[in-house]
Structure 1
Amino acid sequence: MGKIDNSRRARKKPTAAKAAGPAAARGARMTDVARLAEVSIMTVSRALRHPAVVDPETLKRIHGAINATGYLPNRIAGSLASQRSNIVGLVVPSLRNSLFAETVKGVADTLGADFDLMIADSGYVLDGEETAVAAFLSQRVCGIVLHNTKHTPRTRRLIQSAGIPCVETGNLVRRPIDMVASFSNRKAAFEMTAFLVGKGYRRIAFVSLPLRDNDRARERQSGYLQALKQFGLPVDRRIVLESTPGLRGGAHALIELMKVRPKIEAVFLTGDVLATGALLEANRNGWLVPDTIAIAGSDDNELQECVSPALTSLRFPRYDIGCTAASMLLNRISGNLPAAHIVDLGFQIIPRQST
C-alpha cells in the first residue's frame, strides 16, 4: 500500500474568523482584506474610494472582509496619496438660521458614513464664503456645496482651479460654477404675487432682505415686479421695502407699510421669520388678517402653519435639494457624469388663512 502524500492534500480556504485572528492581533491591513476577499489590493482601494465603479458582488465580499478583519481605512494616508480627502465642504449663510437645517440634513444623509461633512458659516457676506472655501481647499476636500450662487471672483477661481465638483443650491442660475440643484426664486415670487392678484388684491406690498450681495433677494423682487407688470398693476416704490432679518424686521416693515396711502391690501414677505414678525405685529395692533391686511410668506415651515391665522407661504424642497446636491457630488467623485448639471426641484404655494 502506497503512502499518502499529505503535502498534496486539498487545502481548505480559511474561514473569516480564522483569517481575522492574526490580522486583528497586529492591526488589520489592506492586504488582509484583499486576501480574505480574494481580490487585489488595487480593487480594495478602488472599493473604498469609488464604490460605485466596483462590481456589487465584489464590493459585498470586500465589505464582508473589512468587517471580519476589523480593518479601518486610513483616510489621512489616503488623502496624502490621492491629494484628496473624504471630506465634503458645505457653506451656508448662517448656522443660527434653521432655514438651512433641512439642506444640511439632506447632504449629510446622502453622503452617509463614507464621507465626512465639514460645515462653515459665511455670515451672509461674500468674503466670509471666500474664507470658508479657502479653508476647505487647504483640507483637500473632495467636493463643495454652496448655498450662495453669487461669489467673489477669487472664490470662483479657487474652486475652478482646484478641479473638484461643486454644487450651488440657493438659486437656479443659468451659469453655475459647476452644477446647481435648486429652484427659481424669480418664478416663485412671480407665482406668489400672481396668486395674491388671483385672490382679488391689487395694492400688494413686497418686503425682502437687503438686495446687496444677495442674488436670491434680487430675483424675488424681480419676479414680484414682473407679475405686477404682467397684470397691469402700477409699481409703487414706497411699498417695495428691504428689511433687516428677524421678527423685528418683519414687524417694523409692516408698521411702515401701514402708514402708506392709499392703503395696501396685501404684503408678500420673502422669508419665514419676516412674515411671522409681520403677522405678530398685525395681531398686536388689532389689524385683522386677512380682512385689514393679507400676509403671505416664504420658506414654509411648521411655525407658519401653527401661528394664528396660519400663513400662506411658498414651500421649497430644501431636504431634497440637499440630497440631490450630495448625489451630484458623489457621481462626479466616482467618475460618473450626472444626468444634468442644472436640476430644478421646483416649489409649492401653500394657501392658508392669512390670505
Structure 2
Amino acid sequence: MTEAVEKKPRSRRLSSGGVRMIDVARLAGTSMQTVSRVISRPELVADETRRMVEEAIRELNYIPNSAARILASSASHIVAVIIPSLSATVYAQEVHHIVRVLEERSFSVVIGHSDYSEIREQRLVQSFLERRPDGFILTGTQHTDLTRQLLKNSGVPVVETFDGDNAAMDMSVGFSNFEAGRKVAELFRSRGLTRIAYVGGRSEQDFRSNARFEGLSARLAEDGLTPVARIELTLPMPAGDGVRGLDRVLATDPLTQAIFFSADTLAISALLECNRRGLRVPEQLAICGFGNYDFADAIVPSLTTVAVPFEEVGVLAANAILARLDGTAQGSSRKVIPLQLLRRASA
C-alpha cells in the first residue's frame, strides 16, 4: 500500500542578495530587459507580461539592486529637488505636486533644503550628484559658480523654479516677482495711498524678494513716489518677524499708510498685531502679503495677497524633466506663469 504524501505548498524564497534579476526573468519566462523595464517603467510593459514578472518578483522575494541598475542602464530614476525651506507652505505644496507627477512615472524624489544658503545648496548638489540623479529641480536662479559648473558638467536636465525674471541655466518654470511688486503698488495707488513700505528678506539673501521690492518701487516712481521704508529681515523669517517688521516700519514712518510683506506669514502676524493694538486695517493701515498661504482668507480682516501658483509650478517642473528624459523636448525653455492679486478686506 502506497502511503499518500501530502504536497506542501512551495515556500516563498527569501532574498538575501542571492536572487538575481536573471532568476526572475527565468521564472517569468521573459528577458532581463523586460524585468528591468517592469521595475523602472512598468507603464511600458503589456499587462499580462507585467503581471508574470511581478508574480515572479513576489515568489522569489527579489529586491532590485538599485546601484547595479544605475550602472547597467545609466539611469537612476531619481530626481533631486532642492528648496529653501521645508516649513514654508509654498515650497511644501510645490514638492507635493512634483512628487505626485514623478511617482506616476516610477521616479523617486530626494529632497534637500538649502536654508536660503547658496553654499548649502552647493553642498547638496555635490552630495546628490553622487547618486547620479536623472535631473534637478532647484528654487530660483541664484547659485554659486561651482553649483552651475557641477550641474553643467553632469549633463542632466535642470529646472529652476519661482523666478521668471531672470535667464535660466537650462529650463525654468516660474513667475515674475517684479510684476508682483507692480501689482501690489498699483492696488495701493488705486486707493490713493502714498506712504507705502516694504518688509522682506535681506537683499543679499532673498533675490526674489528684491525683485518684488523693485517692482513696487518702479510703479511708485511712475507717480513720483518712493517707498517710505524697506525693512530687511534675516532668512528664514518666522511668523513673529511680521510684528518686528511692523514695529520697524512705524518707527521709521509713523504715518505709513500701507505695507507690502514678502510672505503671508509675516503679513498675517502683523495684521493680528494691528487688531490687538486697535490699529484699524485697512482704514489706518492697508496690508498685503504674498503667497496666499493657509488661513490668509480666514483671518479678520481677510488678507489681500498675491496668489502663487505652486501647484502649476510643481507640475510643470516635473513634466519638463520628464519631457527632456523622454526626448520629447530639447534645448532650454522658460515658462512664466501669470500671477493673480487677490484683493480682500485688508487692502
Q: TM-score normalized by structure 2? A: 0.85
Residue number in structure 1 paired with 2:50: 63
- Distance in 2 (CA, whole Å) between partners of 1:220 and 1:288 is 26
Which amino acid letter does the alignment assign opposite residue 95 of structure 2? V
Where in structure 2 are the equivalents of 1:327-346 lying within 5 Å?
327-337=319-329, 341-346=333-338
The offset of 1:145, in angstroms, is 0.9
Residue number in structure 2 paired with 1:99: 90
Q: Deviations over 1:274-325 (max 9, x none)?
A: 1112112211221110111010101112221121111100111112211211
- Distance in 2 (CA, whole Å) between partners of 1:323 and 1:342 is 14
With over 3 angstroms needed to count, the CA separation of the structure-2 counterparts of 1:261 and 1:108, relative to structure 1, is closer
Contact 1:150–1:213 (Cα < 8 Å) also in 2 = no
- Distance in 2 (CA, whole Å) between partners of 1:122 and 1:89 is 13
- Distance in 2 (CA, whole Å) between partners of 1:62 and 1:22 is 23
The offset of 1:138, in angstroms, is 1.0
Residue number in structure 2 paired with 1:89: 80
Contact 1:33–1:66 (Cα < 8 Å) also in 2 = yes
Contact 1:147–1:169 (Cα < 8 Å) also in 2 = yes
Q: Deviations over 1:46-82 (max 9, x none)?
A: 5655678x5xxx5444433333323654322111223
The offset of 1:199, in angstroms, is 2.6
Contact 1:24–1:69 (Cα < 8 Å) also in 2 = no
- Distance in 2 (CA, whole Å) between partners of 1:129 and 1:279 is 33
Q: Deviations over 1:123-160 (max 9, x none)?
A: 11100000000000011111111113200000000011
- Distance in 2 (CA, whole Å) between partners of 1:192 and 1:47 is 51
Residue number in structure 1 paired with 2:241: 249
Which amino acid letter does the alignment assign opposite residue 133 of structure 1? V
Unaligned 5+ runs, structure 2: 1-9
The offset of 1:32, in angstroms, is 5.1
Residue number in structure 2 paired with 1:224: 216
Tell which deviates more after alignment, 181-190 or 243-252: 243-252
Residue number in structure 2 paired with 1:233: 224
With over 3 angstroms needed to count, the CA separation of the structure-2 counterparts of 1:141 and 1:132, relative to structure 1, is same
Residue number in structure 2 paired with 1:155: 147
Q: Which has the higher helix share?
A: 1
Q: 1:203 aligns with which of 195, 204, 212?
A: 195
With over 3 angstroms needed to count, the CA separation of the structure-2 counterparts of 1:171 and 1:34, relative to structure 1, is farther
Q: 2:101 aligns with which of 81, 95, 110?
A: 110
User: Over the residues paired in the alignment, what is the CA RMSD in angstroms?
Assistant: 2.7
Which amino acid letter does the alignment assign opposite residue 64 of structure 1? R
- Distance in 2 (CA, whole Å) between partners of 1:354 and 1:246 is 21
- Distance in 1 (CA, whole Å) between partners of 2:40 and 2:342 is 43
Identical residues among aligned pairs (%): 29
- Distance in 1 (CA, whole Å) between partners of 2:178 and 2:317 is 21
With over 3 angstroms needed to count, the CA separation of the structure-2 counterparts of 1:173 and 1:290, relative to structure 1, is closer
Which amino acid letter does the alignment assign opposite residue 144 of structure 2? T
Q: TM-score normalized by structure 1? A: 0.83
Contact 2:165–2:178 (Cα < 8 Å) also in 1 = no
With over 3 angstroms needed to count, the CA separation of the structure-2 counterparts of 1:296 and 1:338, relative to structure 1, is farther
Contact 1:23–1:29 (Cα < 8 Å) also in 2 = no
Q: Deviations over 1:85-138 (max 9, x none)?
A: 222111111223333110110111011161221111111110000000000001
Which amino acid letter does the alignment assign opposite residue 230 of structure 2? V
Matched, 1:184 2:176: yes
- Distance in 2 (CA, whole Å) between partners of 1:302 and 1:216 is 21
Contact 1:189–1:223 (Cα < 8 Å) also in 2 = yes
Tell which deviates more after alignment, 169-178 or 60-69: 60-69
Q: 1:323 aligns with which of 297, 312, 315?
A: 315
With over 3 angstroms needed to count, the CA separation of the structure-2 counterparts of 1:304 and 1:167, relative to structure 1, is same
Residue number in structure 2 paired with 1:80: 71
- Distance in 2 (CA, whole Å) between partners of 1:321 and 1:104 is 9
Which amino acid letter does the alignment assign opposite residue 194 of structure 2? R
With over 3 angstroms needed to count, the CA separation of the structure-2 counterparts of 1:262 and 1:276, relative to structure 1, is closer
With over 3 angstroms needed to count, the CA separation of the structure-2 counterparts of 1:300 and 1:338, relative to structure 1, is farther
Contact 2:301–2:346 (Cα < 8 Å) also in 1 = yes
Unaligned 5+ runs, structure 1: 1-20
Runs of 4+ in 1 over 6 A off after TM superposition: 21-26
The offset of 1:227, in angstroms, is 1.0
